[in-house]
Amino acid sequence: MRVPVGPAPRFNHGRSAGQFQGLLPSPKTTTRRGVSILTPRTTHRPAISRGCSSLHPRCRLSAPFQIRLAATDTTGAAAEAAVKRGRLWPLVYRGLAFTGFFFLSASSVLAAIFIYDATTYREAPTFEDISLSEYALHPRRGGPKNLPIAEHLVDDDESPEMKAQKHKPKLVILGTGWASVALLKQLNPDDYHVTVVSPSNYFLFTPMLPSATVGTLELRSLVEPVRRIVTRVKGHFIKAMAEDVEFSEKLVEISAVGPGGEKEHFYLPYDKLVIATGSVTNPHGVSGLEHCHFLKDISDARLIRNTVIRNLETACLPTTSDEERRRLLSFVICGGGPTGVEFAAELYDMLNEDLCRIFPKILRCEISVHVIQSRGHILNTYDEALSRYAEQRFAHEAVEVLTNSRVKEVLSDRILFTQKNEAGEIVIKELPMGFCLWSTGVSQTEFCKRIAVKLEPQKNRHALETDTHLRLIGAPLGDVYALGDCSTVQNNVSDHIVTFLRTLAWEKGKNPEDMEISYSDWRNVAKRVKTRFPQAADHLRRLDRLFERYDADQSGTLDFGELHALLRQIDSKLTSLPATAQRAHQQGQYLGRKLNKMAQAAPGMRLNQLDYGDIDEAVYKAFEYHHLGNLAYVGNAAVFDINGMGLKGGLLAVYLWRSVYFAQSVSLRTRILLAMDWTKRAFFGRDLMNF
């Protein structure tokens, strides 16, 4: 080894290691030299210093001694290194011990995973004898259409636990969205014979669906098998569509694709029916939607991902002209609601972060993203500051926002829309497009329309109306509930109270028109309103003021007309609940709790021979919606609208946005997959492949 020769150190006896070091040409070289020379003498040092702390007296004593020794060698640096080593060794030793421990722990975890993994393989198939009801194999026919009635299911008798459920009240749940899954997670396992019917055998975590369209998240991270959720309540799942309900015979008509590929219809009997079938995309009467993509289901996300990448690939072809390339790379989003905005944001992220790494750079120059919004702002249901912030972000990211614009027609290669200009004139514009997403809100499913027609009191064209106990209006009381997007809660405070007062007056033999309502009567009425319509409570805070204001004749009492006017004014203030995952989730939880309470109350009621009437009201309060806020991702930034309090920001807000959804995610499985996906994106980017 070549030893570099530096200036010889002098006066080094009394100096500390630190001072001493300063005299040498380079502390780094010195240390290295000293160590290499002294190596044979200090090899036993670790054994001595092992176990003693860094302040051990022996270590401190031996250090000056070694410095003198080293000085006589004229390699003073070595002594200094030895001092360092004397102090360093315990630290090094500890560091090594900790590192060793870390690797040991890590490998233990790995080993544990392997050992656990080894226990999860099933070797031999276990063929048990399964008992099966004859009725399950050959269901009897009946009902108005003489269809098979599935009273017994194939897994009703397969185990003692399932058998125990068999004669419990039959709870049929239509749909596997937010409402149904919240209900299923809330329900006690042993109270009902649960059957879930839906065309999709998974629950989809809809709020993050836009992230799956460009590969930020994987499709399977957003879905959870419904059968796994149903298993908890020992329930059954049938992959089929609800077609109709026979309310008088308590039968749901169901259709499924049979083994031969043809549609087969049958009836499913129920004691309690929960309709939570969601909604479909609203076409708004626009033609040419066959050229559009939608974003309602997980398969939509897959189709979008494939189309986006197909367009990128086609744009690279040598035969694609410049004009065609620009058209292919023109992404149009119809609808400036949260879905449209988040998709635009995710698309833009992908284009900024991943495209240029592997695709020709020309694509990035010719890409354009357009959002067509019918209102004056995007995210118009949010706080105005937030929607402005989102628009600023989009302007910064060169996403074109076309407000006050309505799509007229979608053609295969362009989109026609009308736009109100600043002068208030409506002009027709044209936008070439290679990809179009249609996300302009929701409308009623065919099934719900069919039911609404059957029930005379159903007047709403957009959703099934329920009372505040979520019971479907018009159906036999307490038989049928409707939750989520397919339903709306009726806020008919005045009608309800007027009917109540009329009944009261009639019972007392009075003419309701002649009734005089005193302040204390009014307080009772208000109490009744608050119980029955929890959403109205906010508007009934100052009872005295309301009483005063509507007591037009200053009589100290309200007559019937005055009360009616007061209640109508409250009605007008109540808005219908938003068609969001949040509302569906709360409704599902509410109904789950109520069904649990009903099951608890059932033995007592049976004793008292009570099996009709307003049992819902007897066992549980009315549904009250608690708005927790809205949030949206707007491209490496997120906005939060929490009860009017706005919060907006960049990356930290994005992490917060993710945390909210991470916490709300349906299972441990989806949570871990989400975390993995986010990490994967960070390290490897989005994988731009289509298949």
User: Residues 227 to 246: which contact a second copy by CB under 8 A?
Assistant: 227-228, 230-231, 236-240
| Residue whose entry in the numeric block shows the structure tokens 């080593």 | 85
Nearer to a second copy, 139 or 337 (CB): 139
Amino acid at 278: G
H-run or E-run covering 664:
helix 651-664
**How many CA within 13 A on the CB side of residue 247?**
19
Q: Which of residues 183-202 bind a second copy (CB under 8 A)?
A: 200-202
| Residue 687 interacting with a second copy (CB under 8 A) | yes
Please pick, from the candidates 7, 18, 72, 123, the single residue that binds a second copy as defined by CB under 8 A.
123
Distance in Å, CB of 508 to a second copy, minimum: 54
Full 3-state SS string of 565-607: HHHHHHHHHCCCCCCCHHHHHHHHHHHHHHHHHHHHHHHHHHH
Q: Which of residues 457-516 bind a second copy (CB under 8 A)?
A: none
How far are the Cα atoms of 258, 457, 519, 549, 570 from residue 544, in angstroms, in the given order?
64, 35, 8, 9, 15
| Residue 122 interacting with a second copy (CB under 8 A) | yes
| Residue 678 interacting with a second copy (CB under 8 A) | yes
Q: What's the token pair of residue 673?
A: 């997959």
Q: Tell me the per-residue interface mask from 286 to 325 with a second copy, x by CB under 8 A, - otherwise.
A: -----------xxx--x------x---xxxxxxxxxx-xx
Number of residues in contact with a second copy under rule CB under 8 A = 115
In 3D space, the residue among 652, 649, 676 whose CA is nearest the CA of residue 662 turns out to be 676
Nearer to a second copy, 158 or 409 (CB): 158
438 and 294 in contact (C-beta within 8 Å)?
yes
Q: Which of residues 605-644 bind a second copy (CB under 8 A)?
A: 636
| Cα–Cα distance, 279 to 481 (Å, whole number) | 16
E strands within 117-182? 141-142, 147-148, 170-174
| Cα–Cα distance, 31 to 81 (Å, whole number) | 6
Nearer to a second copy, 481 or 657 (CB): 657
Nearer to a second copy, 197 or 517 (CB): 197
| Residue 682 interacting with a second copy (CB under 8 A) | yes
| Residue whose entry in the numeric block shows the structure tokens 């500051």 | 385
Distance in Å, CB of 255 to a second copy, minimum: 10
Q: What's the token pair of residue 44?
A: 């036993």
Strand partners, 528: none
| Residue 407 interacting with a second copy (CB under 8 A) | no
| Cα–Cα distance, 639 to 656 (Å, whole number) | 10
Could you tell me whether strands 638-642 and 645-649 are parallel, antiparallel, or unpaired per DSSP bridges? Answer: antiparallel
Q: Which of residues 29-58 bind a second copy (CB under 8 A)?
A: 51, 53
463 and 444 in contact (C-beta within 8 Å)?
yes
Nearer to a second copy, 246 or 264 (CB): 264
Nearer to a second copy, 3 or 316 (CB): 316
Nearer to a second copy, 259 or 285 (CB): 259
Distance in Å, CB of 55 to a second copy, minimum: 9
3-state SS, residue 203: strand
Distance in Å, CB of 338 to a second copy, minimum: 20
3-state SS, residue 452: helix
| Residue 602 interacting with a second copy (CB under 8 A) | no
Distance in Å, CB of 329 to a second copy, minimum: 10
485 and 278 in contact (C-beta within 8 Å)?
yes
Distance in Å, CB of 676 to a second copy, minimum: 6
Q: Which of residues 516-535 bind a second copy (CB under 8 A)?
A: none
3-state SS, residue 62: helix
| Residue 349 interacting with a second copy (CB under 8 A) | yes
| Cα–Cα distance, 530 to 528 (Å, whole number) | 5
In 3D space, the residue among 9, 10, 3, 7 whose CA is nearest the CA of residue 29 turns out to be 3
Nearer to a second copy, 375 or 680 (CB): 680
Please pick, from the candidates 434, 478, 484, 588, the single residue that binds a second copy as defined by CB under 8 A.
434
| Residue 663 interacting with a second copy (CB under 8 A) | no
Distance in Å, CB of 53 to a second copy, minimum: 5
Contact range with a second copy by CB under 8 A, out of 15-23, 135-143, 418-426, 608-616: 135-143
Q: Which of residues 156-175 bind a second copy (CB under 8 A)?
A: 158-159
| Residue whose entry in the numeric block shows the structure tokens 């409506």 | 426
Nearer to a second copy, 590 or 661 (CB): 661
Distance in Å, CB of 381 to a second copy, minimum: 27
Contact range with a second copy by CB under 8 A, out of 67-75, 344-352, 457-465, 476-484: 344-352
| Residue 453 interacting with a second copy (CB under 8 A) | no
How far are the Cα atoms of 90, 96, 639, 675 from residue 105, in angstroms, in the given order?
22, 14, 40, 22
Nearer to a second copy, 310 or 593 (CB): 310
Cβ contacts of residue 79 below 8 Å, gap of 6+?
Answer: 34, 66, 67, 68, 69, 70, 71
Strand partners, 407: 417
In 3D space, the residue among 558, 510, 499 whose CA is nearest the CA of residue 532 turns out to be 499
Q: Which of residues 350-389 bind a second copy (CB under 8 A)?
A: 351-353, 357-362, 364-365
| Residue 223 interacting with a second copy (CB under 8 A) | yes
Q: Which of residues 534-573 bind a second copy (CB under 8 A)?
A: none
Nearer to a second copy, 11 or 114 (CB): 114
In 3D space, the residue among 297, 173, 304, 301 whose CA is nearest the CA of residue 240 turns out to be 173
Q: Tell me the per-residue interface mask from 77 to 106 with a second copy, x by CB under 8 A, - otherwise.
A: ---------------------x--xx--x-
Distance in Å, CB of 332 to a second copy, minimum: 15
Nearer to a second copy, 8 or 316 (CB): 316
Please pick, from the candidates 111, 164, 257, 385, the single residue that binds a second copy as defined by CB under 8 A.
257
Distance in Å, CB of 191 to a second copy, minimum: 21
Please pick, from the candidates 73, 384, 413, 611, the single residue that binds a second copy as defined by CB under 8 A.
413
Could you tell me whether strands 464-466 and 435-438 are parallel, antiparallel, or unpaired per DSSP bridges? Answer: unpaired
Distance in Å, CB of 579 to a second copy, minimum: 23
Dmax (CA) for the chain in angstroms is: 123
Cβ contacts of residue 377 below 8 Å, gap of 6+?
Answer: 336, 384, 387, 388, 391, 403
Nearer to a second copy, 84 or 302 (CB): 302
Distance in Å, CB of 247 to a second copy, minimum: 21
Contact range with a second copy by CB under 8 A, out of 40-48, 114-122, 339-347, 478-486: 114-122
Distance in Å, CB of 639 to a second copy, minimum: 16
Torsion of CA 504, 507, 511, 512, to 10 degrees: 10
Q: What's the token pair of residue 200?
A: 């999709």
In 3D space, the residue among 442, 461, 383, 477 whose CA is nearest the CA of residue 583 turns out to be 442
Please pick, from the candidates 7, 28, 72, 117, the single residue that binds a second copy as defined by CB under 8 A.
117
